[in-house]
Structures are given as C-alpha cells and as structure tokens.
C-alpha cells in the first residue's frame, strides 16, 4: 500500500496564520490581522477537503481489498485520519466564531469583513456537505457488501433476513448469520464472510458516528449564521440611530443659526430705529428751540 500523507497539523481554535491567537487591533492593523486569519482559515478548509478525499480513498481500498492485514492497516489509518479531520473541523468552526465575534466599525471595513467571512463560512459548509455525501455513499456501499457476504452464506435469504443482517437490528443480525453458518456447506468461505460482515458493521457504525458529528457541526454553523446576521443588523441599526441623531443635531444647529441671525437682524433694526427716532427728536427740538430764539 502506498504511503498516505498525514493530515496537516491542527492549529488551536483561534490560531492565526502564524499559529498565534487572533486578536483584533485598530484600523489598518485590525484589517491586516483579519486578512491573515481569513487566509489561514481558507487554507485549513483546503486541508479539510484533502482529508476527506483521503478518507474516501481509504474507504475504497477497504471495500476492494481481500487482504485482512491490509484492511486492518487501512482501518487504523482511517480511524486516525477521521479523528484529525474531526479536530480540524471543530477548529475551523471555532476560528470562524472567534472571527465573527470581533467588533467592527460600520462602514467599508465591516462590509469587507462580512463578505470575506461569509465566503469562508460558505466554503466550510460546502466541505461539510461533501464529507457528509462521501460518508453516506460509502455507508450504502458497505451495506451492499454485507448483503453480498450474507448471501454467500445463505443464498435463499429472505429480504427481512437481509435487512436484519445489514442493519444489525437489535443484534439480531449476528444471530441470523450464526444460524446460517451452521447450515452452510462452505464452512471456510462462510466464516470468512462472517468476519468481513463484522468488520463492515464496525465501518458502518463509525460512519454513523461521523454523520452525527457532521450534523452537529451543521447546527453550530446555522446558529453562527443567525448570530452573525443579528450582530450585523444591530450594528446597522445603531449606525442608523447615530446617523439620525447626527442629522437631527445638524437640523437643530441650523435652526439655531437661523434664529441667531434673525435675532441679530432684529437688534440692528431696533438700533437703527432708535437712531432714527433720536435723530427726529433732535431735529424737532432743534427747530422748536430755533423758533423761540
């Protein structure tokens, strides 16, 4: 069997491009840190997809191999790779959560952050969907393999018996298989088929666990999307309130300026009116006094 490249190292949930915790700064520094982190997350998503491709390859090797030792080796590698992929997926989720929890000022930077983060999140959801589809496909293929192996032991098996063995309903599948073994004329081949059925049941159970974990990740990402949308809406509402308050303040200022100008004009009118009245009084007094003299 060829060598398989081990998965990339899983970084800490909030690790940045250099493995350091992502911490938002201010202005240009904050955006530089954001770009570094979002690029690192996208690289991690690429590693996640690569892991899923290797998992699919190992599933395929297991199905096509008749070498028990090779299958055991494949299973060990598969278990380790699935565990590392699980950790990597949780890390990506937590890093996206950390990234979206960082505050951003309304404006162009916030829109850039939202668009880039939304894109990374959508690529991660696509990766989860791809992994989910791979596991579903191989679960079905493992079940088909179990059915074929059971029919080697009992060619005349009913569909109910096949379903019980394939799905191992309440452990009844093993009992049905054991009964079929006692009546089989090909004991050695039947025992080998029984061992493989047990191995495939273990593979199916492992896939079921993985699908449950992926479903939980999907739920977590849905919650994350809702929280992010609510945060953005709150920021936009607050920004609108600030804009409204600013506009209201400007309107009040403009009104105050108008009132002040009007008051100044009235004061000047009163001043000039007083001057005119004083001048008239002075003229009248001057004329009157001049006549008396």
SS3 69: helix
In the predicted structure, residue 141 carries a pLDDT above the cut 50 = yes
Indicate whether 284 belongs to any domain: no
- CA-CA-CA-CA torsion sign (204, 205, 206, 210): positive
Is 136 contained in some domain?
yes
> Is 191 contained in some domain?
yes
Half-sphere CA count of 286, side-chain side, radius 13 A: 6
Number of domains making up the chain: 1
Q: Which residue has the tokens 């590698």?
A: 77
Name the nearest CA neighbour of 142 among 101, 195, 203. Answer: 203
List all residues 6 or more positions away from 186 whose beta carbon is below 8 Å from its beta carbon.
Answer: 152, 153
**pTM: predicted TM-score of the whole model, two decimal places:** 0.68
User: Is 174 inside a domain boundary?
Assistant: yes
Does residue 15 belong to any structural domain of this protein? no
Distance between first and last Cα of the chain = 138
Domain that holds residue 157: 27-247
Question: Within 13 Å and on the Cβ side, how many CA atoms surround 50?
Answer: 14
pLDDT at site 19: 46
In this structure, are residues 157 and 180 in contact, taking their beta carbons and an 8 Å threshold?
Answer: yes
| pLDDT tier for residue 13 given thresholds of 50, 70 and 90 | very low
Q: What is the CATH number of the domain that holds 243?
A: 1.20.58.70
Q: Which helix (H) or strand (E) holds 107?
A: none
Q: What is the pLDDT of residue 20?
A: 44
Is the pLDDT at 8 greater than 60? The verdict is no
CA 84 to each of CA 54, 79, 87, 143: distance values in angstroms, whole numbers, following the listed order = 12, 9, 5, 25
Taking CA 198 as the corner, what is the angle to CA 156 and CA 76, rounded to the nearest 5 degrees?
145
In 3D space, the residue among 72, 84, 88, 91 whose CA is nearest the CA of residue 21 turns out to be 91
Q: Is residue 133 part of a domain?
A: yes
| Cβ neighbour number for residue 21 with a 10 Å cutoff | 11
Q: What is the pLDDT of residues 200-252, one digit of tens each?
A: 888 999 999 999 999 999 888 887 665 555 555 555 555 555 566 566 666 76
pLDDT in tens, 89-131: 999 999 999 988 876 666 778 888 889 999 999 999 999 999 9
Q: How far apart are CA 217 and CA 86, in angstroms?
A: 10
Is residue 194 included in any domain, yes or no? yes
* Residue 21 pLDDT > 60: no
Q: Reduced to 3 states, what is the DSSP secondary structure of residue 21?
A: strand
Find out whether 134 and 210 touch, Cβ atoms under 8 Å.
no
| Within-domain flag for 259 | no
- Measured CA to CA, the distance from residue 69 to residue 182 in angstroms comes to 27
> Can you give the pLDDT at residue 230?
53
Say if residue 16's pLDDT is above 60.
Answer: no
Q: For residues 170 and 47, what is the distance between their CA atoms, to the nearest angstrom?
A: 38
């Amino acid at each position: 069997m060829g060598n398989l490249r081990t998965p990339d190292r899983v970084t800490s949930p909030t690790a940045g491009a250099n493995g350091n915790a992502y911490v938002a700064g201010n202005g240009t520094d904050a955006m530089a840190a954001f770009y570094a982190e979002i690029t690192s997350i996208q690289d991690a998503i690429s590693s996640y997809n690569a892991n899923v491709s290797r998992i699919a390859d190992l599933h395929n090797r297991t199905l096509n191999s008749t070498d028990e030792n090779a299958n055991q080796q494949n299973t060990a590698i598969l278990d380790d790779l699935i565990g590392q992929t699980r950790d990597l997926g949780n890390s990506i989720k937590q890093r996206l959560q950390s990234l979206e929890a960082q505050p951003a000022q309304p404006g162009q930077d916030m829109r850039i952050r939202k668009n880039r983060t939304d894109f990374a999140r959508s690529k991660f959801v696509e990766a989860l969907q791809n992994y989910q589809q791979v596991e579903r496909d191989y679960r079905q293929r493992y079940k088909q393999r179990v059915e074929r192996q059971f029919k080697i032991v009992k060619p005349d098996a009913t569909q109910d018996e096949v379903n019980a063995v394939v799905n191992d309903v309440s452990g009844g599948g093993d009992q049905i298989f054991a009964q079929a073994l006692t009546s089989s004329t090909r004991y050695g081949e039947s025992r080998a088929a029984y061992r493989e059925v047990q191995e495939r049941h273990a593979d199916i159970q492992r896939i079921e666990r993985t699908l449950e974990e992926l479903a939980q990740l999907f739920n977590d990402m849905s919650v994350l999307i809702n929280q992010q949308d609510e945060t953005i809406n709150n920021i936009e509402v607050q920004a609108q309130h600030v804009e409204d308050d600013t506009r209201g303040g400007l309107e009040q200022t403009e009104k105050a300026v108008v009132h002040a100008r009007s008051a100044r004009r009235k004061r000047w009118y009163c001043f000039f009116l007083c001057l005119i009245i004083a001048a008239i009084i002075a003229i009248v007094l001057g004329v009157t006094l001049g006549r008396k003299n």
